[in-house]
A and B are shown apart, each in its own frame.
Chain A
Amino acid sequence: MKTTGKVTGIVSNLVTVEVDGPVAQNELCFIDLDGTKLMAEVIKVNGANASVQVYESTRGLKVGCNVEFEGKMLEVTLGPGLLSSNYDGLQDNLATMEDVFLKRGEYTPALDADKKWDFSPIAKVADKVVAADWLGEVKEGWLPHKIMVPFSFEGEYTVKSIASEGSYTINDTIAVLTDSKGEEHKVTMCQKWPVKVAIKGYKEKPRPFRIMETGVRAIDTFNPIAEGGTGFIPGPFGCGKTVIQHAIAKQAEADVIIMAACGERANEVVEIFKEFPELIDSRTGRKLIERTTIICNTSNMPVAAREASVYTAMTIGEYYRAMGLKVLLLADSTSRWAQALREMSNRMEELPGADAFPVDLSSIISNFYSRAGIVVLNNGQTGSVTFLGTVSPAGGNLKEPVTESTKKCARCFYALSQTRADSKRYPAIDPIDSYSKYLEYPEMEEFFNEKMEQGWVSKVLAARNITLRGKEAYDQINILGDDGVPMEYHLRYWKSELVDFILLQQDAFDNIDCQTPLKRQEYMLNLVLDICNKDYHFERFEKCVSFFKNLINIMRQMNFSEFQSPEFEKYKEQLQKTVENVL
Chain B
Amino acid sequence: MSSNVFQRIYTKLEAITKATVTLRAEGVSNDELASVAGRLAQVVKIKKDLVTLQVFAGTEGIPTNAEVEFYGEPPALNVGEQLSGRFLNAYGEPIDGGPKVEGERRYIGGPSVNPFKRRQPSELIPTGIAGIDLNNTLVSGQKIPFFADPDQPYNQVMADVALRADVDKIILGGMGLSNDDYLYFKQKFEDAGALDKIICFVNTTEQPPVERLLIPDMALTAAEYFAVDKNEKVLVLLTDMTLYADALSIVSNRMDQIPSKDSMPGSLYSDLAKIYEKAVQLPSGGSITIIAVTTLNDGDITHAIPDNTGYITEGQLYLRKDTDTGKIIVDPFRSLSRLKQLVINKKTREDHSQVMNTGVRLFADAANAKTKLENGFDLSDYDLRCLDYAKEYSNRLLSIDVNIKIDEMLDTGWELFRKYFKPEELGIKQSMVDKYWNR
Residues of A within 8 A of B (CB): 8-12, 16, 57-64, 86, 94-95, 97, 99-104, 236-238, 263, 265-267, 269-271, 273-274, 296, 298-301, 303, 336, 339-340, 342-343, 346-347, 349, 352, 355-357, 392, 394-397, 422, 481
Give the Cβ gap from B354 to chain A, nearest Cβ, in Å.
Answer: 14
B426 within 8 A of A: no
Contact (Cβ within 8 A) B30 A271: no
From A341, which residue of chain B is reached at the shortest CB distance?
A: B266
The 3 closest A-B pairs by CB, nearest first: A395-B302, A299-B273, A300-B277
Q: Which of A10, A101, A342 contacts B260 (CB 8 A)?
A: A342
Compute how far the CA of A103 lies from the CA of B110 in the bound complex, rounded to whole angstroms. Answer: 10
Q: Are A102 and B111 in contact (CB under 8 A)?
A: yes
If A59-B30, A62-B28 touch, whether A267 touches B260 (CB-CB below 8 Å) is: no
Contact (Cβ within 8 A) A267 B261:
no
B337 to chain A, nearest CB (A): 11
B27 touches A62 (CB 8 A): yes
User: Do residues B30 and A481 form an inter-chain contact, with CB atoms below 8 A?
Assistant: no
A267 and B121 contact, CB distance less than 8 A = yes
Report how far A236 CA is from B336 CA in the complex, Å.
Answer: 14
**Nearest CB on B from A488, distance (A):** 22
Min CB distance A342 to B, Å, is 5
Contact B269 A336 (CB under 8 A): yes
Collect the chain B residues with CB atoms within 8 Å of residue A64's CB.
Answer: 27
Please pick, from B32, B282, B336, the residue contacting A100 in the complex, using a CB distance under 8 A. Answer: B282
CB of B30 within 8 A of CB of A62, answer yes
Contact string against A for B residues 296-334, beta-carbon threshold 8 Å, 1 for contact and 0 otherwise? 000001111001101110110000000000000000010
Given contacts A299-B273, A343-B266, are A394 and B307 in contact (CB under 8 A)? yes
Which A residue's beta carbon lies closest to that of B32?
A60
Contacting pair B259 A356 (CB below 8 A): yes
Q: Once the chains are docked, how many angstroms separate the CA of A161 from the CA of B47?
A: 56
| A265, B112: Cα distance in complex, Å | 12
- Name the contact of A270 in the complex, choosing from B118, B267, B308 (C-beta under 8 A): B118
Within 8 Å CB of B16, what residues of A?
none
Given A101-B111, A102-B114, A238-B310, A299:B49 Cβ within 8 A: no
Q: Chain A nearest CB: distance from B345 CB in Å?
A: 12
CB distance from B42 to the nearest CB of A (A): 11
Q: Is B9 an interface residue (CB 8 A)?
A: no
Residues 14-51 of B contacting A (Cβ, < 8 Å): 26-32, 44-49
Using known A-B contacts A267-B339, A339-B269, A356-B260, determine if residue A10 contacts B30 with beta carbons closer than 8 Å. yes
- In the complex, what residues of A have CB within 8 A of residue B267's CB? 12, 303, 343, 346
Q: Is B115 an interface residue (CB 8 A)?
A: yes
Q: A59-B31, A342-B260 are in contact. List 4 more A-B contacts (CB 8 A).
A: A63-B26, A63-B28, A237-B310, A273-B115
CA distance A238 to B335 in the complex (A): 10
B26: A residues at CB distance < 8 A: 63
CB-CB under 8 A from B270, the residues of chain A are 263, 299, 303, 339-340, 343
Contact A342 B113 (CB under 8 A): no
Name the residue in B31, B267, B308 with the highest tally of chain A Cβ atoms < 10 Å from its Cβ: B267
Please determine whether A11 and B311 come into contact, CB atoms closer than 8 angstroms.
no
**Which residue on B lies nearest to A242, using beta carbons?**
B338
Pick from B49, B74, B113: contact of A63, CB below 8 A: B49
Decide: A9 and B48 in contact? CB cutoff 8 A. Answer: yes
B228 contacts partner chain A, Cβ-Cβ < 8 Å: yes
CB distance from B234 to the nearest CB of A (A): 15
Bound state CA distance, A296 and B115, in angstroms? 8
In the bound complex, what is the Cα–Cα distance between A396 and B273 (angstroms)? 19
CB of A97 within 8 A of CB of B120, answer no
Query: CA A57 – CA B30 in complex, angstroms?
Result: 10
Question: Which among B113, B119, B304 is the interface contact of A102 at CB below 8 angstroms?
Answer: B113
The answer, yes or no, to whether B197 is at the interface (CB within 8 Å) is no
Interchain CB contact under 8 A, B113 and A100: yes
Contact A94 B116 (CB under 8 A): yes
Interface centre among B45, B115, B303 (most CB of A within 10 A): B115
Contact status of A265 and B277, CB under 8 A, knowing A238-B336, A343-B267: yes
Task: Decide yes or no: A102 and B112 within 8 Å by CB, A61-B29, A61-B30 being known contacts.
Answer: yes
CA distance A347 to B47 in the complex (A): 13
Assembly CA distance A356 to B119 (angstroms): 37
Candidate in A267, A298, A392 with the most chain B CB atoms within 10 angstroms: A267
> Which residues in A have their C-beta under 8 angstroms from that of B27?
62-64
A residues near B142, Cβ cutoff 8 Å: 267
Contacts of A267 in B (CB 8 A): 118, 120-121, 141-142, 314, 339
A352 near B377 with CB under 8 A, answer: no
**Interchain residue pairs with CB less than 8 A apart (11):** A8-B48, A60-B29, A103-B111, A266-B280, A267-B314, A269-B115, A298-B277, A343-B266, A394-B261, A394-B307, A394-B308
B117 at the binding interface (Cβ < 8 Å): yes
Residues of chain B with a CB closer than 8 A to A97's CB: 114, 116-117
Q: Chain B's nearest CB lies how many Å from the CB of A35?
A: 15
A60-B30, A60-B32, A395-B302 known; A342-B45 Cβ under 8 A: no
- Closest-CB distance, A554 to chain B (whole angstroms): 14
Residue of B nearest to A93 (CB): B116
Q: How far is the CA of A372 from the CA of B92 in the complex (A)?
A: 51
Pick the residue among B28, B48, B115, B333 that contacts A298 (CB under 8 A).
Answer: B115
How many Å from the CB of A420 to the closest CB on chain B?
A: 14
Cross-chain contact A9 with B46 (CB below 8 angstroms): yes
B312 partner residues in chain A, CB cutoff 8 A? 265, 299
- Give bound CA distance, A355 to B304, whole Å: 12
Map CB proximity to A onto B108-135 as digits: 1 under 8 Å, 0 otherwise.
0111111111111100000000000000
Pick the contact of B302 from A101, A303, A396, A481 — CB < 8 Å?
A396
Expressed in whole angstroms, the Cα–Cα distance for A57 and B310 within the complex equals 25
- With a CB–CB cut-off of 8 A, which chain B residues contact A343? 266-267, 270
* 8 Å CB contact of A101 from B46, B110, B315, B377: B110
Complex interface: chain B residues within 8 A of A397 (CB): 302
Chain B: which residue is nearest A339 at the CB level?
Answer: B269
Cβ-defined partner of B120 (8 Å) among A94, A274, A342: A274
Q: Which residues of A contact B74 (CB under 8 A)?
A: 59-60
Residue of A nearest to B309 (CB): A237
Q: Could you say which of B228, B258, B283, B312 has the most chain A C-beta atoms within 10 Å of its C-beta?
A: B258
**Distance in Å from the Cβ of B7 to the closest Cβ of chain A?**
15
- Report yes or no: B304 in contact with A422, Cβ–Cβ below 8 A: no
Closest to B307 in A: A395
B389 CB, min distance to chain A CBs, angstroms: 20
Q: With an 8 A cutoff between CB atoms, is B352 at the interface? A: no
Contacts known (A9-B46, A299-B273); A339 close to B266, Cβ less than 8 A: yes
Q: B46 contacts which chain A residues (CB < 8 A)?
A: 9-11, 62-63
Tell me which residues across on chain B come within 8 A of A298, comparing CB atoms.
112, 115, 273, 277
Q: Is B257 an interface residue (CB 8 A)?
A: yes
A298, B120: Cα distance in complex, Å: 15
Interface centre among B141, B261, B270, B308 (most CB of A within 10 A): B270
Which of A58, A265, A355 has the most CB atoms of chain B within a 10 A radius of its CB? A265
Asked whether B118 lies within 8 Å of A63 as measured between CB atoms, the reply is: no
Contact in complex: A300, B310 (CB < 8 Å):
no
Query: Which among A238, A273, A394, A422 has the highest number of chain B CB atoms within 10 Å?
Result: A394
In this complex, the member of B48, B119, B269, B283 whose beta carbon has the largest number of chain A beta carbons within 10 angstroms is B269
How far, in Å, is B15 (CB) from chain A's closest CB? 15
Most chain-A Cβ atoms within 10 A of its Cβ — which of B26, B303, B311, B312?
A: B311
Q: With a CB–CB cut-off of 8 A, which chain A residues contact B118?
A: 266-267, 270, 273
- Determine if B370 is an interface residue (Cβ-Cβ < 8 Å): no
Contact in complex: A301, B141 (CB < 8 Å): no
Expressed in whole angstroms, the minimum distance between the Cβ of B424 and any Cβ of chain A is 12
CB neighbours (8 Å) of A396 from chain B are 302, 307
Distance of B219 from chain A, by nearest CB (Å): 16
Chain A min CB distance to B43 (Å):
8
State in angstroms the CA–CA spacing of A21 and B111 once bound together.
34
Considering only CB atoms, which chain A residue lies closest to B280 in the complex? A266
Which chain B residues lie closer than 8 Å to A352 at the CB level?
Answer: 258
A94 close to B29 (CB less than 8 A): no
Min CB distance B75 to A, Å, is 10
